[in-house]
């Protein structure tokens, strides 16, 4: 995609701080610097979101997320990671190229990844009626 910033990064048209790269995946530090080590993992091939992404590419991305996360915990002094992925505008996706965020974590780091949810009192059996895969 010509105007996709992540495609331009994957093609080397825009520089990045590469954490990991193979023939299908690229991982780089997020320039927002909102958390130490905040890493973005993308497939080099463009897919807007999880709904468009094929199973093989998705699996390759998740394998890279796991490899990078293990490296952060086993070799970089972190105790865990948060992994996130937003799909669609309603879910907060701002760059429409599927990507995963890895936030390396240490106990007591003061990072609050999750906003408090408003809650929902719909009975679980009613929710299941709508959501269950048949």
d(C-alpha 112, C-alpha 103), whole Å: 11
Exactly one of 96, 97, 99, 101 is catalytic; name it. 99
Catalytic residue at 99? yes
Cα(16)–Cα(87) distance, rounded to whole angstroms?
Answer: 23
Q: How far apart are CA 97 and CA 84, in angstroms?
A: 14
Surface-to-core class of residue 18, CB atoms within 10 Å of its CB (0-12 exposed, 13-18 middle, 19+ buried): exposed
What residues act catalytically? 99
């Amino acid at each position: 995609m010509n105007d996709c910033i992540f495609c331009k990064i994957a093609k080397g048209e825009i520089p990045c701080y590469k954490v990991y790269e193979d023939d299908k995946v690229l991982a780089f530090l997020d320039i927002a610097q909102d958390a130490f080590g905040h890493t973005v993992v993308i497939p080099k091939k463009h897919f807007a979101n999880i709904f468009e992404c094929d199973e093989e590419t998705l699996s390759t991305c998740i394998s890279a997320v796991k490899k990078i996360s293990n490296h952060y915990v086993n070799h970089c002094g972190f105790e865990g990671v948060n992994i996130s992925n937003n799909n669609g505008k309603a879910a907060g996706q701002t760059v429409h190229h599927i990507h995963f965020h890895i936030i390396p974590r240490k106990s007591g780091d003061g990072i609050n990844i999750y906003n408090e949810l408003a809650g929902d009192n719909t009975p679980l059996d009613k929710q299941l009626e709508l959501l269950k895969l048949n």
